[in-house]
Amino acid sequence: MTLEHLASFLRAARQSATPTGAELFRSGGGRRVSGLRREEVARRASLSLPYYVRLEQGRGGVPSDAALNSLARALQLDADQRAHLKALATGGALFPQWPVRPRERPRFRDILATIRTPAFIMDEYTTTLGATRSGWLALAEIGATGTPERNWVSWMLDSPSSARLWDDWDIVMRLTVSNLIRMCALRPGDAALRSFVDDWAQRHPLFRQYHDAPPVNVPASGTLRVHHPEGWSADLGYDFFTLSSDPVRFLLLWSAARGTPGERRLHELERRAAPTTRG
């Protein structure tokens, strides 16, 4: 992590923070910026304005732990955002460091072989390492198999099919980028992962926009509205499970509530993906 990343995060967090009534009163109702002014952040955090300005410019050095805590309070950061702020400032040293490249485990294939619903094994780069038969069929139908190494970020940013699939593409992209940033914080010694994220940030303005925004909480489960290329729409659930034996490998399951159109569509997908038998 560089001081430039810390500076970008501080600027984005300041613009997202909410002024108090007293701060609005002092401005006389003539605010020209969204969020807080720099002097308001400095006042809230009990820091000098010149020092805070240098931090936002990437010239303030590494803040002390006390200064980071004060900034987190001033910017109204939640727990995930506080952890990310400290990871940016400290290089992620507060997180445990796992092996850079855990050995792939054959039993991952055995796990997938027992599941009928769309399920995927993914790595820290958002690359699909394996999937159930219905999972591979789902990826093919939504156009997500032609991107390099079946990478989720590449598909989201470079394939028009991703924009057509999700009812709220913005939420999916925010979750994807926030998870990548979280992985970088958890594994500060992984130069390859940091390079992967930095490369996307440098060559794709939209990725950079999400990268520099305050990180959002990455829920392990939820529901998303999808619009299938064949013309149907449904609410599908997703659940992420971290594999305890390899903390940078994830099992992603798709599901649907009973009796819903989504359940019927998933059953159809499972039937079409089932191996044919000859008798």
CATH of the domain at 243: 3.30.450.180
Q: Establish if 102 belongs to a structural domain.
A: no
Do 58 and 127 lie in a common domain?
Answer: no
Separation CA 60–CA 40 (nearest Å): 18
Q: Establish if 186 belongs to a structural domain.
A: yes
Q: Whole-prediction pTM value?
A: 0.62
pLDDT per residue as tens digits for the range 183-203 = 887 777 788 998 999 999 999
pLDDT of residue 255 exceeding 90: yes
Q: Establish if 63 belongs to a structural domain.
A: yes
Do 81 and 213 lie in a common domain?
Answer: no
**Token pair of 61 as six digits:** 């050095």
Do 260 and 123 lie in a common domain?
Answer: yes
Q: Establish if 100 belongs to a structural domain.
A: no
- CB-neighbour burial class of residue 205 (10 A; exposed 0-12, middle 13-18, buried 19+): exposed
Q: Which residue has the higher pLDDT, 212 or 225?
A: 225
Stretch 161-179: mean pLDDT: 85
| pLDDT attached to residue 44 | 93
Do 141 and 78 lie in a common domain?
Answer: no
Total structural domains in the chain? 2
Do 71 and 174 lie in a common domain?
Answer: no
Question: By percentage, how much of the chain surpasses pLDDT 70?
Answer: 81
| pLDDT attached to residue 47 | 93
Do 150 and 206 lie in a common domain?
Answer: yes
- Are 263 and 254 in contact by the 8 Å Cβ rule? The answer is no
Q: Which domain holds residue 237?
A: 107-273
Alpha helices in 204-259 (DSSP H): 205-212
Q: Establish if 244 belongs to a structural domain.
A: yes
Do 216 and 180 lie in a common domain?
Answer: yes
Do 115 and 78 lie in a common domain?
Answer: no
- CB-neighbour burial class of residue 111 (10 A; exposed 0-12, middle 13-18, buried 19+): middle
Do 143 and 25 lie in a common domain?
Answer: no
pLDDT per residue as tens digits for the range 62-117 = 888 889 999 999 998 877 677 778 777 776 543 333 333 344 566 677 778 888 89
| pLDDT attached to residue 56 | 92
Kindly list the strands in the beta sheet with 250-255, ordered across the sheet, starting from the edge strand earlier in the chain.
128-131, 119-122, 250-255, 233-242, 221-227
